Chain A
Amino acid sequence: GQSLEQPSEVTAVEGAIVQINCTYQTSGFYGLSWYQQHDGGAPTFLSYNALDGLEETGRFSSFLSRSDSYGYLLLQELQMKDSASYFCAVRDHSNYQLIWGAGTKLIIKP
């Protein structure tokens, strides 16, 4: 079957750097996406990696290794507002719809 694995919870300190990993098992691959969801809020798109390597957008970066079926989201200079759940997702090869991980809750301490 197709699945994604990510840690359920990660704790970090304000101002620090944190990495949220995602490994996937899919029959085909069309890219790895990351979404952020604050408590009570809508999931919002953060990044999309179709090719290997690091994509940087401000304090957030996303990495993909297709040979390892692995990616991560890197958050730098953590701020309290980054406390949220982060979801990785890949596209299903059969119907192009997103398959989601269960989400990683990021807890930031002062």
Chain B
Amino acid sequence: ETGVTQTPRHLVMGMTNKKSLKCEQHLGHNAMYWYKQSAKKPLELMFVYNFKEQTENNSVPSRFSPECPNSSHLFLHLHTLQPEDSALYLCASSQESRGTGELFFGEGSRLTVL
């Protein structure tokens, strides 16, 4: 198993659909993250979870709803998205959220909103 696994790799949805992105880490880490990556822009931090508790919500619209049932799994529930939400959504994990340790990323879920 690779360290951080994301599914689906690609997702196309209409503006009225509801879908979810899934992330699983097999590294025994305590912190998990959602990032949004758009072309030629810095990675945008969306949410941070540390020991299953949300510690950061970077002013993300409510149409994005995270869920962290345990330290190994992270979901991003999507509802009534806009075309500008089309991007690569990256999940990452680290030993804990406030240290200087490296982040381990998944390969991302490429989202297209029609």
Contacts and interface: CB of A to CB of B under 8 A. Distances in A.
A97 B45 contact: yes
B43 A87 contact: yes
A42 B107 contact: yes
B42 interface: yes
B21 interface: no
Interface string A20-45: 00000000001101010000111111
A46 B92 CA distance: 15
Interface of A: 4, 8, 30-31, 33, 35, 40-45, 48, 50, 87, 89, 91, 95-103
Chief secondary structure at chain B's binding surface: loop
B108 interface: yes
Interface residues of B, number: 21
B102 A97 contact: no
Nearest to A38: B107
Nearest to B42: A100
A102 B45 contact: no
Name, among A8, A42, A101, the residue most crowded by chain B CB atoms within 10 Å (CB to CB).
Answer: A42
Interface in B79-110: 90, 92, 97-100, 102-108
A102 B43 CA distance: 7
16 contacts: A30-B100, A42-B105, A44-B105, A45-B104, A48-B102, A50-B100, A87-B42, A96-B99, A97-B97, A98-B45, A99-B42, A100-B42, A100-B43, A102-B41, A102-B42, A103-B42
